Amino acid sequence: MRILALLAALSLSSPSWAADLESYATLQRAAVMVKDRPATVKFYRDVLGYTEEPTATDIKLPPDHPLGLPPDAVISMTYMKSRDGAYVAVMGVDSKTMPLLQRPTGTNNAYNDIILVHVVQNVDAIYERAKAGGYEILNPPKLSRTGAAKQMFLRDPNGIKIELNEILKKPN
């Protein structure tokens, strides 16, 4: 009896049960709330090669909207599409009362930081575009810890960390 109870407990605590759930989540897109939407759109378009979708402007949300923006907020939204169909929604928020999230000084990392991870082609060319654009480069391209990718880290104009991985072909 104890063995059956132990097996039942182990099977319930196993992560494999998650695959059987009828209710689950799938990432639809990443969204970034920014003060300067045009600068962010320029970064995703000119540095990362995303396509700029049409922009919606002068959006005023009702006070009970789930985003919980300040009453004076006016939104503009541009969807940036990667070649593979992934989206980053760039939401410009114009508000005199919305606070700006500050990163701590003296470090590249902090709890609750966000990293948007991308697989790229030709990380060296992206590095050159980022450098030419004056963007904050945290680490220039170098071999990843595992050797499976050439990797670099940088920040977009809002301070969001971007990780770029150029997957290297395995030798035959």
pLDDT tens digit string along 86-106? 999 999 999 999 998 888 888
Residues of the chain within CATH 3.10.180.10 domain(s) are 27-98
Q: Is the pLDDT of residue 172 over 60?
A: no
List the end-to-end C-alpha distance of the chain, in Å, as a whole number: 53
Confirm if 53 and 44 have CB atoms less than 8 A apart.
no
User: How do residues 9-36 score in pLDDT, each as one tens digit?
Assistant: 444 455 555 566 788 888 888 999 999 9
**Mean pLDDT over residues 35-45, rounded?**
97
Beta bridge mates, 163: 117, 153
**Mean pLDDT over residues 60-69, rounded?**
90
Q: So what's the pLDDT on residue 53? A: 95
Fold of the CATH domain 112-172: 3.30.720
Provide CB contacts within 8 A for 107, sequence distance 6+.
none
Q: Which CATH class is domain 27-98?
A: alpha beta
Closest-CA residue to 164 (of 49, 7, 16):
49
Residues of the chain within CATH 3.30.720.110 domain(s) are 112-172
Q: What percent of the chain has pLDDT over 70?
A: 87
